[in-house]
Structure 1
């Protein structure tokens, strides 16, 4: 049985003019992809008017709640005591979002209830990755 958890979250999109725009996102975790977390944004929150999903390592989220973490497309760091910043880079620009730290922590704890750290089925992850890489089903 595949277990998936989803948690709606209200974030603040920080604009180039330092304005904060409320944005709804869905934090998602699935046992099928035990090393990853997903942040899904609805079409109205995206530049192209289509839903957008970002995928990054669950361990990156864990680390970013405590100290600046990440390189490249996703970076995460604490912002004061109650907020955490997620910075997403794409070829079209970047998005800087502030989430309530308590929401991200609650989501992370729930994900550990689905698959504990160190209990990820690495053989299945590698098999799915190889199948996708070599064009299998």
Structure 2
């Protein structure tokens, strides 16, 4: 039995925007940098979120879902609040941005090269525009789930 998988390939679109591998520096303190590799992945089915996998040389990798708009804005201005923030380095320094990730377990600051990330993000916007990204969100379902809250156990 043969299935036509062309629609499946078009929907997942892995070849349209291949993952981006970047060399970044994790700032361990003011003077100590730890070189690290990160993999940025775009999924056209969830265009609002970029999956970033921080590939550790030893030990497990760390995976974060980061808003595509947050990354895009963070290349030129302060972006984000809470657990994820990004902003450009000072003028005169390397063309890069700072990416800060915080949670109860992790606090990490990374220096991310601006040019390759900007080019890659532009490619993702050619696949799914910012307008189309928000049009695909199920706001009614999101609000329904949010307002219903966790179900109370039956007693």
Q: TM-score, normalised by structure 1?
A: 0.81
SS in 1 for 2:42: strand
Match of 1:83 among 96, 100, 107: 96
Higher relative contact order (Cα pairs below 8 Å, separated by 6+ residues)? 1
Q: Is 2:67 the counterpart of 1:57?
A: yes
Q: Is the 8 A contact 2:37 2:56 kept in 1?
A: no
Q: CA deviation at 1:121?
A: 6.4
Hey, what does 1:20 align to over in structure 2? 33
Instruction: Tell me how many residue pairs correspond in the alignment.
Output: 127
Higher strand share: 1
Report the secondary structure of 2:77's partner residue: coil
Contact 2:36 2:56 in 1 (8 A): no
Contact 1:27/1:107 (<8 A) preserved = no
SS for the counterpart of 1:62 is helix
1:80 counterpart SS class: coil
RMSD value over aligned CA atoms? 2.2
Answering whether residue 122 of structure 2 is matched by residue 112 of structure 1, we say no
CA contact (8 A) 1:29 1:111 kept: yes
Q: Which residue of 1 aligns with 2:153?
A: none
Preserved CA contact (<8 Å) 1:13 1:96: yes
